[in-house]
Structure 1
Amino acid sequence: MVTRRITEEPAFVLHRYDWSESSLILEVFTRHHGRVALAAKGVKRPTSNFRPVLLPLQPLRLGYAGEGEVRTLKSAEWAGGHVMPTGESLLSGYYLNELLIRLLARDDPHPALFDIYAQVVRLLASEHGEVLQAALRAFELLLLREAGLLPALDMQTLTLSPLDARASYCLVPEGGLRLAQAQDRARLDGAQWSGLHAALAPEASFLDALRACAAVASELKPQLRVLLHYHCGGGTLRTRQLMMDLQNL
């Protein structure tokens, strides 16, 4: 039996689990093969060359082999580019990683989403904190789209009726995009939803999505939070709970 071997694969570490006293199981997001679980044997030893490399939010080139659910890490190199995000940006990066683990199936490639994630991580590591919320909202929308969980934003989901540019609409679990009701605090008008729809088109760039979200980030946040909570299976995300705990200190 020939063992499949992958070399020089662009990747990011999403999470690390203890496997033994000296080894880890890694959840990694690769460009061409999607989310993959890897056994990193001996990586916790002080003499391991992998130990200072296998960090989250850092661009890597990985080599691994195997056919089962958990493959074996063979090589790892830092691809360079930026330093580790800190503070709120670091927590935001961990939040994105948790979303990827919750919403993407293993071995399901999403090269376009990988490239967008890499852009967001570079942004988190930069000094442009003023665009952090817009970047998070843009990534959430693009992730939901890639996972097949985002309804069309240029029509009402249940009726397929076109949006009235001046009417208000909400994005809700199961119901998709619908007319806002009196009790709905978070809402966008039809023109704003249509603008987001255009900015999320396959031919649009991440910068287009970033610009569209910047103008409506505060209104989008609670709607996307409920939608993501629904699709992640309920329960508060660990990183979101950590952010709330820190804010309450």
Structure 2
Amino acid sequence: MQTSAQPAFVLHSRAYRESSALVDFLTPEGRLRAVMRGARGKAGTLVRPFVPLEAEFRGRGELKNVGRLESAGIPHFLTGEALFSGLYLNELTIRLLPAEAPHPALFEHYAATLQALAGGRPLEPLLRAFEWRLLDELGYGFALDIDLHGTPIAASGIYRLLPDAGLEPVGQLQPGLFQGAELLALADADWSAPGALAAAKRLMRQALAPHLGGRPLASRELFMTLKEPSRD
């Protein structure tokens, strides 16, 4: 069985047998894993991240074969922190997105995020927006302007996140909790508000943690290692 041509991005690839590669793709039809024959030859130049592709896949099982793979646009050249951000998006998508579950809106958001990263846009808002979109697409999203009891978030209130339920009001600010004003800024995507970016990063880490199964993200650890100051 061969699918019709569809847009795709490579999320990850590794050597497979003598001259092939085992490749994870993101397509509007979901995350697909396929064998790319002759990936160590000329065709292998396409098996790299951040390149818009057009692909056809063959096979009925979970492991498919790449029938055709062609460039479908200008590659997104990411360097420095933008590169590590792109690798983080790829790893997060592989870890959380179920295989062969269609998410066309997420695919479009991913493509737009790569374009924004390549264009030098500020990283943190892009990463937080993608994390939020991924959680929401998977059914793990929650309201930022209403608590789990259905009461509007109060700017002066203090809240904690219950990942399987939503935001719960609490009496006193402690480490790991959130001020209502921060949550309302996030609801409006107002990244200029005091504390909004830090709160968004903390909130997304708490929301993602239960779905990552306690296994750290390699791209996040590598990024943090490279940001540490030299001790020479």
Q: TM-score, normalised by structure 1?
A: 0.83
Q: What is the 5 A alignment of 1:88-99?
A: 88-99=81-92
Any unmatched runs of 5+ in structure 2? Answer: none
Q: Which residue of 1 aligns with 2:167?
A: 177
1:160 maps to 150
The CA distance in 2 between the partners of 1:229 and 1:183, in whole Å, is 19
Q: In the TM superposition, what is the alpha-carbon distance from 1:153 to its structure 2 partner?
A: 2.2
* Matched ranges for 1:58-207 at <5 A: 58-128=51-121, 131-157=122-148, 159-174=149-164, 176-180=166-170, 181-185=172-176, 187-189=178-180, 192-194=182-184, 196-197=186-187
**2:36 maps to 1:43:** no
Count residues in correspondence.
Answer: 226
Note the 1:169-248 alignment, pairs <5 A.
169-174=159-164, 176-180=166-170, 181-185=172-176, 187-189=178-180, 192-194=182-184, 196-197=186-187, 211-213=189-191, 215=193, 216-248=196-228
Shift of 1:15: 0.8
CA distance in 1, matches of 2:76, 2:87: 15
| More moved, 174-183 vs 216-225 | 174-183
* Residue equivalent to 1:206: none
Distance in 1, matches of 2:191 and 2:107, equals 19
Distance in structure 2 (CA, Å) of the matches to 1:117 and 1:224: 17
The one-letter amino acid of 2:155's match is A
Q: What is the CA–CA distance in structure 2 between the aligned matches of 1:96 and 1:58, rounded to whole Å?
A: 14
Q: Percent identity?
A: 36
Amino acid at match of 1:247: K
Shift of 1:21: 2.5
1:29 aligns with 2:26: yes
TM-score with structure 2 length normalisation? 0.89
CA RMSD of aligned residues (A): 2.0
Matched, 1:14 2:40: no
CA distance in 2, matches of 1:152, 1:55: 36
Unaligned runs of 5+ in 1: 200-210
